[in-house]
Structure 1
Amino acid sequence: MSNLTPPQPPPVWTHTPEDVLRLTKEAIEKDRQVQDQVAKLSVSESNFDTVFLALAHSDALFQEITEPLSFYQNVSPSKELRDASNEAEQLVRDFGVESSMRVDVYNAKVAAQKNIESSGRKLNPEEQRLVEKMVQDGARAGLGLPEEDRKQLTTWKKELSQVCLEFSKNFNEENGFVSFTLEQLKGVPEDVISGYVKRTEDGKELYDVTHKTPDIFPLFKYAQSAETRRLAYESFEARLELNSPLLDRALELRREIASLLGYKTWADYVTEIKMHLQFLTDLEQKLRPLGLEERETLLRLKADELKARGEPYDNEFYLWDYRYYDRLHVEKTLSLDDALVKEYFPASVVVPAILGIYQNLLGVRFYEVKEAQTWHPDAQMFAVWAADAKDESDFVGYCYLDLFPRASKYSHAAVWPLLPGYVRPDGKRSYPLAAMVANLAKPTPDRPALMRHDDVVTFFHEMGHVFHGLLSRTQFSRFHGTSVARDFVEAPSQMLENWCWEPKVLEKMSRHYKTQEPLSAELIEKIVKSRYVNVGLFYLRQLFFAWFDLQVHTHKGKDKQDATALWNHLRERISLVKGGKISAGQGSFGHIVGGYDAGYYGYTYSLVFAADMYSTVFKKDPLDPARGNRYRESILQPGGSREELDSLREFLGRPPNSDAFMKELFGGS
């Protein structure tokens, strides 16, 4: 590969706060000029090239400039740069609202569509889809409404975007912690405790546990003291209480917007949800008996453990009991020690192993660019090429991995498609760039960075989004990669999680950090069996999130809904766990302002597609490159350029069904 140079340089990451705002404003002005030109076209001048192609290419160039600049707020160590990035995104969002409300541009689209139809010009399927979607955008934006209503819509939409952005900023900037003595942390593994900040206050030695996943989740699973777990959970739940009024306002604005657009609720505006409501209702009814049975098992375990310790038992199952007794149950029934399994998954082994599996399956190669310029020294950059690359046309794109926690960095795991792939006006390709941000456990003084098995699953899942972004091959940026229906966007990545439960894959990506031995067949068998332990309670928790999202977005009328009360009520009714002190847990539900509003059900609904794809095509040989190529061509390459059901039919050889998913849940694999 040393003789091949990528045909497209990566973006620079040396911007100052001033650069971020200046470049964003310049990009907005340039895109506005294109919209102005389109708006001035006469009816006879409006056609596919002058309207749809012009707008599509301008939009792609706009994304290329603004997306990386908006990304700084999630990863930059500089508060000034994060603030400028946040401000830049607000400018972009406001401009997006203004653009969506331009009647003159919409009129040009309608005229162009009519001219295309009357001229008999033949468009390819993706071009036809572009025309339909662009015209549909205007109708859904309310451009048929009177001018006063359009002005009101513009005001509300801008405020909504500001509120959602502030919610997300608080989410990223959250840096709280909860403190405990060593005695209170009894049961938490020493390697975890050694990563906590130790300090002295009033003569007492205290350990500060941040709300970051690698710090606080082990406490939920291992701390013997229910009081410690309760205090930690209450702190964790309340960590973004300041977001509660922001969410209330966002919900209120969504109701007003939907009503003005002629929809009963925001959920009706976002999507036709009747089919999905029925799916969720049916699934909850099937899962509830299973969840109740699992809850009774865990309650018996709790009773036995507290009796052995001479502590009182109150016959209640609390939020802070679930992870602890779930872990104990797995240890007792399968003799599976999560802390031992973690020793076989050092990040330095798992990350390249997973990359290797994906590369062989999908026919690509990752080459780390060692001297690459990034936003932080922890971030790695890779140039991605076809496995048999011969010239620059075999270049795939760029990938960034930013895997370890730090202050004011995005606190979960997600992928940002920073640059889309598409065909430029000169016919050459513009190549994609995807960045994965995660928060794997940090190294400790006596151990390297180790990953729990569920960290491995998460990493495998997120890499699925990376490859969807890299291997999509569309004509227009609008349809690139994960730009698919919301109840399908998670399906490819969810399908790929199955690899983390396959014996030969587990062996391939595990090496004990001391002995270098892979997981034994016995340990692998236990891990595989643990997949369906307490699966009812696990999915009921997912349904709780989905139902909360739908209920706040199907609320009608002017009366304000008590989101905190609803959050706590639904969690207890659906998840089958009692909460503690009332707190605004919904303030940490980032998906509800991050694009999954009235769409969180998609996480569960898309599991149907994921299970069907895996069972039908990959189960027999999950590492077979021929099957990987079929997946790449049928699912990844089209992106959103065609209906998702068409991609699924091509891949499966038939329409999808829920048989494999139901068998997984209620019959094991």
Structure 2
Amino acid sequence: MAHQMKRNPPQQPPSFTANPVSITQDTKYLIVHAREGQNQIKRNVQPSTATFTNVILPLAHIDNALASKSHILVFYRAVSTSPELRNASMEAQNILDSYNVETSMDDDLFALVDAVFHNNADLEPESYRLLKKIYMGYIRHGLKLSAGCQRDRFQEIQLRLSCIKAEFQRNLAQANSAGIWFTAGELDGLPGEFLSKLMGGEVGKVNGDKVQVALNDSDLFQTLRYARDGETRKRIYIANENKCGQNVSLFREAILLRDEAARLLGYPSHAALRIEDKMAKCPETVNSFLGDLQARLRDNGMKEVDKLKQLKKADLESRGESFDERYFLWDHQYYHRMMLEKQYSVNRQKIAEYFPFQSTIMGMLRICETLFGLFFSEFNRDEMTKLDSPGVAHVWHEDVQAFSVWNSDEDGDFVGHLYLDLFHREGKYANAANFNLIPGFILENGKRRYPATALVCNFSKPSSETPCLLKHDEVVTLFHELGHGIHDLVSKTTYSHFHGTETEVDFGEAPSQMLENWCWTPTVLQSLSRHYSYISSEYLDHWKEQAYREPQPQEQMPDAMVESLLQAKHINGALFHLRQLHFGIFDMVVHESDDRHAIEGLDVSAKYNELLARILPMDSPEGDDWGHGQTRFQHLLGEYDAGYYSYLL
């Protein structure tokens, strides 16, 4: 990445200087400006004179301008350290959602769009696709409904759904920072470095002799994988399923409102509405796909559990404990990890030593440079300072790495900006994700607006003495999210409406899932790997403290380690995909009810747990009211409602 000469990008990186007041003011200003543009179109054009050039193209320019500024305003809610700034960013999203609802229910604009749609003009493919999307957007927002009660009710539903989504995400972010107190004995088996980072109780208080394990994904999976005590695993598993009780009513309200809105529009269900313009086209296709996949996986899933039960039996008996023939949900991470270690010589901790954070990131970018003909040029702190005007910041946090991205051919054209925000912070978005900050599109003067995109993760921050070591599955996750980021960067569309990952949801995961395969290629694994003890003398000393006089490992991952990792790639794969099937089938069940009474009478938590017990051949607590897993299922309160099947497709 240092092989090309530094160049100044033709588009400077965006600034991140917002405060709670400015976010609200800027959002309102953008909307006022957008409405002025819409009103000008309505004043100057009649349905009889409406064309793509004087209606759709100006609307596209309005959307382009709005998207190029608003994405950053709502991004702060995912990454800011300030609760006030996060709340203002959430409110900005609510304001924008309200604007979008009002715009999509504007009769005068729809009359013009309708006229253009039916005049059969000869348009190039992307322009026709834009016209159709805008037209169908009005239809799906009730413009065929008669004015009055039905139209008003539909608008109320859309505005309320916007508020529900924001509140759901806020509740979940707060719940992820909660935790459970355990004694040292209850956490027997967990790595010492992990335990050393946990918050201890105050001396003399109730939990003074305990440490707190947070209910975020990192702490959760570490505990489920390594805690020897089954009761410890059970406690944290069930606590995680119940950590966000305030979202129970919100989730239920959301599916009821979605169902009502779909029926107002004449669709039999929310799923029918959402899938209509996806690749699958109809719920029947999705249900057939999921049902067929479940039938194919069921027997293998049961066989995998039988083998895991044998492992659990041997483990318990070696400790002098009896085995009751049950294999619980909270057992799986622990015994799956044990199977990989004992039967396939796959030691997650040892493998992680070959993926120190910074060298792995740089290696991933080098692979993308080779695959896609790109060049990543990192901005160092001095360069960022030179870019800065007084009061301007080009990153939102000191941990963020920023890159300008170029084509690596002779022309070396600029591609866009990439940001990596990969360390855990309080209040940060809890999962791995890619966020578009600025979409790419063609400006009115014919020049290109270049994209900016951000990868957000939650790894432990390294120090000069203690490294951040990535598990192999975390490397896979990084490749997946970087796949979205590359898709975002290299996309070249005329309109922001279609930029990057703004495609059909059931296609949007395909590029990232294809990129994951490089994490299972031997030559790539070895070129990507570097044992952390070779990075610095401090890290070598750290390794020596952990290794107890073992010889220093070779610098790149040994062939035997690579081979064992590849042999174990599909171990318990049926169970993994059955779990994904549970999510996908639950998504369809709650969004494709037979009738209104069925959805009104649905006990959502009970259905979630009942489907889990039926699909996944593992034991769960008795009854159907032991957990509320849907309350942390943020995909379904995001863009994946009636679309989670995309991950399996």
Q: TM-score over 0.5 for the alignment? A: yes
The 1:16–1:444 alpha-carbon spacing in structure 2 relative to 1, beyond 3 Å, is: closer
Q: CA deviation at 1:160?
A: 0.9
List structure 1 segments (4+ residues) > 6 angstroms apart after TM superposition.
none
Q: CA deviation at 1:320?
A: 0.7
Rounded to whole Å, the distance in 2 between the matches of 1:157 and 1:211 is: 31
The 1:16–1:460 alpha-carbon spacing in structure 2 relative to 1, beyond 3 Å, is: same
Cross-structure match for 2:101: 97
> Which stretch shifts more, 105-114 or 376-385?
105-114
TM-score by length of 1: 0.87
> Which stretch shifts more, 441-450 or 29-38?
441-450
Cross-structure match for 2:114: 110
Amino acid at match of 1:498: N
Q: CA deviation at 1:21?
A: 0.3
Rounded to whole Å, the distance in 2 between the matches of 1:595 and 1:333 is: 40
- 1:50 maps onto 2:54 in alignment: yes
Amino acid at match of 2:192: E
Amino acid at match of 1:562: D
Amino acid at match of 2:518: W
The answer to whether the Cα contact below 8 Å between 2:453 and 2:485 also exists between their aligned partners in 1 is yes
Cross-structure match for 2:648: 604
The answer to whether the Cα contact below 8 Å between 2:200 and 2:208 also exists between their aligned partners in 1 is no
| 1:6-42 deviations in Å (ceiling 9; x for gaps) | 1112221111111000000011111112222223321
Q: CA deviation at 1:308?
A: 1.0
The answer to whether the Cα contact below 8 Å between 1:238 and 1:585 also exists between their aligned partners in 2 is yes
Secondary structure at the aligned position of 1:439 is classed as strand
- 1:594 maps onto 2:638 in alignment: yes
Cross-structure match for 1:151: 152
Cross-structure match for 2:628: 584
Q: CA deviation at 1:234?
A: 1.4
- 1:209 maps onto 2:247 in alignment: no
Cross-structure match for 1:12: 15
TM-score by length of 2: 0.90
Rounded to whole Å, the distance in 1 between the matches of 2:6 and 2:479 is: 31
The answer to whether the Cα contact below 8 Å between 1:195 and 1:444 also exists between their aligned partners in 2 is no
Secondary structure at the aligned position of 1:450 is classed as coil
Secondary structure at the aligned position of 1:184 is classed as helix
Q: CA deviation at 1:445?
A: 8.5
| 1:94-145 deviations in Å (ceiling 9; x for gaps) | 1111111111111101222344x3xxx5422111221222222222222111
Unpaired runs of at least 5, structure 1: 606-669
Amino acid at match of 1:126: E
| 1:269-311 deviations in Å (ceiling 9; x for gaps) | 1111211211110110010000000001111111111111112
- 1:192 maps onto 2:194 in alignment: yes
| 1:586-615 deviations in Å (ceiling 9; x for gaps) | 10000001110011011101xxxxxxxxxx
Secondary structure at the aligned position of 1:209 is classed as strand
Rounded to whole Å, the distance in 2 between the matches of 1:240 and 1:442 is: 27
Cross-structure match for 1:382: 403
| 1:209-264 deviations in Å (ceiling 9; x for gaps) | 11222222111101100011111111211122211111011011011101111111
Secondary structure at the aligned position of 1:383 is classed as strand
Cross-structure match for 2:169: 168
The 1:186–1:113 alpha-carbon spacing in structure 2 relative to 1, beyond 3 Å, is: same
Rounded to whole Å, the distance in 2 between the matches of 1:20 and 1:162 is: 18
Cross-structure match for 1:649: none
Cross-structure match for 2:179: 177
The answer to whether the Cα contact below 8 Å between 2:181 and 2:207 also exists between their aligned partners in 1 is no
Q: CA deviation at 1:463?
A: 0.3
The answer to whether the Cα contact below 8 Å between 2:78 and 2:429 also exists between their aligned partners in 1 is yes
Q: CA deviation at 1:198?
A: 2.3
Rounded to whole Å, the distance in 2 between the matches of 1:450 and 1:465 is: 23
| 1:601-656 deviations in Å (ceiling 9; x for gaps) | 11101xxxxxxxxxxxxxxxxxxxxxxxxxxxxxxxxxxxxxxxxxxxxxxxxxxx
Aligned match for 1:489, one of 502, 508, 514: 508
Cross-structure match for 2:257: 253
Rounded to whole Å, the distance in 2 between the matches of 1:409 and 1:420 is: 23
Cross-structure match for 1:540: 578
**Cα RMSD, aligned residues only:** 1.5
- 1:427 maps onto 2:438 in alignment: no
| 1:19-72 deviations in Å (ceiling 9; x for gaps) | 000000011111112222223321243111111100001001101111100000
Rounded to whole Å, the distance in 2 between the matches of 1:438 and 1:203 is: 30
The 1:539–1:386 alpha-carbon spacing in structure 2 relative to 1, beyond 3 Å, is: same
Cross-structure match for 2:467: 448
Rounded to whole Å, the distance in 2 between the matches of 1:553 and 1:261 is: 15
Cross-structure match for 1:350: 360
Rounded to whole Å, the distance in 1 between the matches of 2:247 and 2:98 is: 21
Q: CA deviation at 1:437?
A: 0.3
Cross-structure match for 1:656: none
Cross-structure match for 1:138: 138
> Which stretch shifts more, 285-294 or 553-562?
553-562
| 1:335-373 deviations in Å (ceiling 9; x for gaps) | 221111111111111110001100111011111112342
Rounded to whole Å, the distance in 1 between the matches of 2:6 and 2:532 is: 36
The answer to whether the Cα contact below 8 Å between 1:294 and 1:537 also exists between their aligned partners in 2 is yes
* Aligned positions of 1:269-288 closer than 5 A: 269-271=273-275, 272-288=282-298
Rounded to whole Å, the distance in 2 between the matches of 1:199 and 1:474 is: 54
The answer to whether the Cα contact below 8 Å between 1:38 and 1:108 also exists between their aligned partners in 2 is no
Rounded to whole Å, the distance in 1 between the matches of 2:47 and 2:105 is: 20
Amino acid at match of 2:143: L
Amino acid at match of 2:166: L
Rounded to whole Å, the distance in 2 between the matches of 1:270 and 1:511 is: 45
Rounded to whole Å, the distance in 1 between the matches of 2:445 and 2:378 is: 30
Secondary structure at the aligned position of 1:109 is classed as helix
The answer to whether the Cα contact below 8 Å between 2:101 and 2:141 also exists between their aligned partners in 1 is no
Cross-structure match for 2:25: 22
Amino acid at match of 1:29: V
| 1:540-561 deviations in Å (ceiling 9; x for gaps) | 0000000111101012313231
Secondary structure at the aligned position of 2:423 is classed as coil
Rounded to whole Å, the distance in 1 between the matches of 2:314 and 2:208 is: 33
The answer to whether the Cα contact below 8 Å between 1:460 and 1:497 also exists between their aligned partners in 2 is yes
Rounded to whole Å, the distance in 1 between the matches of 2:447 and 2:56 is: 19
Rounded to whole Å, the distance in 1 between the matches of 2:207 and 2:305 is: 41
Aligned match for 2:324, one of 309, 314, 326: 314
Q: CA deviation at 1:180?
A: 1.1
The answer to whether the Cα contact below 8 Å between 1:173 and 1:409 also exists between their aligned partners in 2 is no
Rounded to whole Å, the distance in 1 between the matches of 2:513 and 2:648 is: 10
> Which stretch shifts more, 142-151 or 552-561?
552-561
Amino acid at match of 1:595: E
Cross-structure match for 2:430: 411
> Which stretch shifts more, 212-221 or 240-249?
212-221
User: How many residues are matched?
Assistant: 599
Question: What percent identity do the matched residue pairs reach?
Answer: 38
The 1:437–1:463 alpha-carbon spacing in structure 2 relative to 1, beyond 3 Å, is: same
| 1:168-195 deviations in Å (ceiling 9; x for gaps) | 1222233101111111111111121122
Rounded to whole Å, the distance in 2 between the matches of 1:7 and 1:584 is: 50
Amino acid at match of 2:361: V
The answer to whether the Cα contact below 8 Å between 1:194 and 1:444 also exists between their aligned partners in 2 is no
Cross-structure match for 1:526: 564
Q: CA deviation at 1:389?
A: 5.8
Q: CA deviation at 1:576?
A: 1.9
The 1:198–1:275 alpha-carbon spacing in structure 2 relative to 1, beyond 3 Å, is: same
Rounded to whole Å, the distance in 2 between the matches of 1:192 and 1:530 is: 25
- 1:401 maps onto 2:420 in alignment: yes
Q: CA deviation at 1:202?
A: 4.0
Rounded to whole Å, the distance in 2 between the matches of 1:42 and 1:244 is: 48
Rounded to whole Å, the distance in 1 between the matches of 2:255 and 2:189 is: 42
Amino acid at match of 2:632: S
Rounded to whole Å, the distance in 1 between the matches of 2:195 and 2:325 is: 30
- 1:124 maps onto 2:124 in alignment: yes
Cross-structure match for 1:86: 90
Unpaired runs of at least 5, structure 2: 276-281, 385-393, 536-554
- 1:62 maps onto 2:66 in alignment: yes
Amino acid at match of 1:386: N
